Amino acid sequence: MSEHLAAKKGEIAKIVLLPGAPLRAKHIANEFLTDPVCYNTVRNALGYTGTYKGVRISVQGTGMGIPTTLIYAEELINYYGYEVLIRVGTCGGMAPEIKVRDVVLAQSATTDSAIIQNAFGSGIYYAPTADFALLDEAYHIAKSLGINVKVGNIISEDRFYNDEIEREKLIKYNVLGAEMEAAGLYLVAAKYNVKALAVLTISNHIIDGTSTAATERERSFNDMEKVALETAVQSQIEKRSDE
């Protein structure tokens, strides 16, 4: 057991999908994984391991925001030795070309979080960035599945309700949407030299007000989940051919 996860070493796969919502983890396990086994219920942060197309994959709910997500990410990396982390989360659209239910691959993640300064001190504005191989793979997989996918910069915000942030300026600088975890994930992935990507579904549009129901956010964003799982499988194929 690590501090917050009840799994024994070996019960979690080297590839982990990370939804914020624990019930999305349950949905992914039941809908897509063969023989899923629940390895964690501590704090209701549900975690499952099973196989997808023969590849062992885990899915771990992280809760909302960078602090809670990094508890799980760092324990998964440092205690369980995992190598590929793919966030599967919801995102509020900001740019006008982004529509509800679009899939967005976060190439980079701007943030208002203090984690960058916390890690680097003042004067360095580190740019949290996705692993290019995962990003490239996910993009081509989405295209081949006919999924409407956009790629670009998003913002990981510390507050969901944030009417002080200058959204028009962010949109002008091509920030596509807002969520709450990717920047932290990319930062620790770089720190520990593991691969990370955030695959997101637009659950609502912050500017035009369109939205989706909570049940749909938990159970029906299957396009993003398929892209993440197929990318995970491909990352293992590439790893094996490198060895």
Ligand X SMILES: O=c1cc[nH]c(=O)[nH]1
Q: Where are the beta strands (DSSP E) in the chain?
A: 15-18, 34-40, 47-52, 55-60, 84-93, 103-111, 149-156, 175-179, 195-205
Q: Is 20 annotated as a binding residue?
A: yes
Nearer to ligand R1P (CB atom), residue 9 or residue 159 = 159
Distance between CA atoms of residues 16 and 201, nearest Å: 18
Residue 180 makes contact with ligand X by CB under 6 A: yes
Member of 51, 204, 210, 222 binding ligand X (CB under 6 A): 204
Q: Which is nearer to ligand X, 70 or 178 (CB)?
A: 178
Name which of 13 and 206 has its Cβ closer to ligand X: 206
Q: CB-wise, 29 or 236, nearer to ligand R1P? A: 29
Among 68, 90, 111, 113, binds ligand X (CB under 6 A): 90
Nearest to 64 by CA among 19, 24, 104: 19
Q: Compute φ and ψ for 79, nearest 5 degrees.
A: -100, -40
20 touches ligand R1P by CB under 6 A: yes
Residue 128 interacts with ligand R1P (CB under 6 A)?
A: no
> Taking CB under 6 A as the rule, does residue 159 contact ligand R1P?
no
Q: Which two tokens stand for residue 145?
A: 């599945």
* End-to-end CA, the chain: 30
- Among residue numbers 58 through 77, which ones bind ligand R1P (CB under 6 A)? 64
Three-state SS for 209?
coil
* 155 binds ligand X per the rule CB under 6 A: no
Report whether 184 belongs to an annotated binding site: no
CB of 130 to ligand R1P, least distance (A): 16
User: Checking DSSP bridges between strand 103-111 and strand 195-205, what pairing results, if any?
Assistant: antiparallel
The Cα 98–Cα 214 span in angstroms is: 20
Q: Which two tokens stand for residue 169?
A: 């300026």
Contacting residue, 199, 206, 227, 233, with ligand X by CB under 6 A: 206
Give the separation between CA 14 and CA 24, rounded to whole angstroms: 20
**Cβ-closest position to ligand X:** 92
Annotation-wise, does 87 bind a ligand? yes
Q: Residues comprising the binding site for a purine D-ribonucleoside? A: 4, 179-181, 203-204
Q: Residues comprising the binding site for phosphate? A: 20, 24, 43, 87-90
- Name the residues that contact ligand X, by CB under 6 A: 90-92, 160, 178-180, 203-204, 206
